[in-house]
Amino acid sequence: MTQPLKAVRVSEHVYWVGAIDWAIRDFHGYSTEQGTTYNAYLILGDKVTLVDTVKPAFVDELMSRISSVIEPSRIDYIISNHSEMDHSGSLPAVVDRVRPERVFASPMGVKALADHFQLNAPVASVKDGESMSLGNLSVGFTETRMVHWPDSMFSFLLDDGVLFSNDAFGMHLATSQRFDDEVSGWEYQAAKYYANILMPLSLVIAKTLAKVEALKLPIKVIAPDHGFIWRKDLETIVSLYSRWSAQKRNTSAVVAYDTMWGSTATMATAISEGLSSEGVRNKLMPLKGCNRSEVITELLEAGAVVVGAPTMNNNIFPPMADLLTYLKGLKPRNLIGAAFGSYGWSGEAVGQIREYLSAAGVEMPLEGLKVKFVPREQDLADCFQMGSSLARILKEAAAIDLSAPAATTREAPIPR
């Protein structure tokens, strides 16, 4: 590192000493078109404490920012809130340079760190609800299992009211500003982060929100490990998490498709028209122009997903198999859907799409729609009908309670 970098003061005793990754465009399969940050924090107590580290390639940036405040060898403790590599990847290098007295992690974190590294420092566990003295300051710990991994925990600096929330309340967004009141237009990135990282953990997140609320911590600042720090708009991000974790849905739809020679694209357009004819806002998402993580973001609050792909060599056209595998893992709740696609000889793709959607928990009230080679006028009328029928079902479900678990799977021919 040739140029010294600066820490940013967060509160009386806390400095941000993280790294800004302006260049990353793929975060384990999630498109990060606006980069990200790996936030780490330095607590200047009698016992100087580093909260989390950064991705391995950014260790020099971390050390440089620490050095702008304090000689790194003065760090006594390191708290590891989560062992995933974007937060612990540079821990071995930091430990070797700093030689801390001890590294602290949750009981699951101690095991996870041991499974990742051989650290040249003792690693001790801190329990849920435990507090630790830094001499003049006190840090409390709350286990937040599965937000994002089993080892995840929050740390809380009681004296300054700073909650170190690790993966929660963050987003993949690189900015030169560090605080929420300095950044605008972040909402899409917050939703994208929730949809792609946290959506399958929504039930746990709802419980974690309730658990932290019950602790009645005097939180003044939420300091996550990605994106900017919340010092003004804390309520906004917490209420967004409350809303997203409930997985309540609106009456909009996403039509995701891929096409070989244009037939499935033509079908997708007719289905979109059918949805629109019933006043259902919808978005056509051709996979040739959309990353899987963008489709998932649109599905965070949409009520319906319509998926189309041609059959290729007796299988789903591969880019769509990619999206469906991803969707299945993210387990969206309370979604309805339908499948369509063109084919030349065998036409297995539509049935396979339905199997994926069913495995993902998507309720499918309509039969799939297949068209041989090129859609004719009647085929396009059927596609339109699929869209308008699904729109009516969606509106009816929303009028009842779309967030309630589906009692039955409705299977019916497309009404004409």
Give the residues lining the site for ligand FEO (CB under 6 A).
82, 84, 86-87, 148-149, 167, 225-226
* Residue 357 burial class via C-beta count within 10 angstroms: exposed 0-12, middle 13-18, buried 19 and up: buried
Only one residue has tokens 């051989």, namely 118
Least CB distance from residue 252 to ligand FEO, whole Å?
29
CA distance 189 to 202: 18
> Smaller CB distance to ligand FEO: residue 13 or 226?
226
Q: 3-state DSSP call for residue 277?
A: helix
> Smaller CB distance to ligand FEO: residue 237 or 380?
237
Least CB distance from residue 85 to ligand FEO, whole Å?
8
> Smaller CB distance to ligand FEO: residue 148 or 333?
148
Which residues, 6 or more positions from 293, have their beta carbon under 8 angstroms from its beta carbon? 29, 30, 31, 192, 195, 196, 326
Catalytic residue list: 28, 82, 84, 86, 148, 167, 193, 226
Q: Of the candidates 396, 374, 200, which has an alpha carbon nearest to the alpha carbon of residue 299?
A: 200
Roughly what angle, to the nearest 10 degrees, separates helices 318-330 and 349-359?
20
Query: CA 301, 303, 306: angle at the middle one, nearest 5?
Result: 115
Which residues, 6 or more positions from 105, have their beta carbon under 8 angstroms from its beta carbon? 79, 80, 81, 83, 112, 113, 123, 124, 125, 126, 151, 153
Least CB distance from residue 154 to ligand FEO, whole Å?
13
> Smaller CB distance to ligand FEO: residue 201 or 397?
201
CA distance 306 to 357: 10
Least CB distance from residue 36 to ligand FEO, whole Å?
9
Least CB distance from residue 245 to ligand FEO, whole Å?
17
> Smaller CB distance to ligand FEO: residue 150 or 347?
150
> Smaller CB distance to ligand FEO: residue 82 or 249?
82
- DSSP letters of 147-201? SSSTT-EEEEETTTTEEEEETTT------S--BGGG--S-HHHHHHHIIIIIGGG
Least CB distance from residue 125 to ligand FEO, whole Å?
19
Only one residue has tokens 């605008």, namely 184
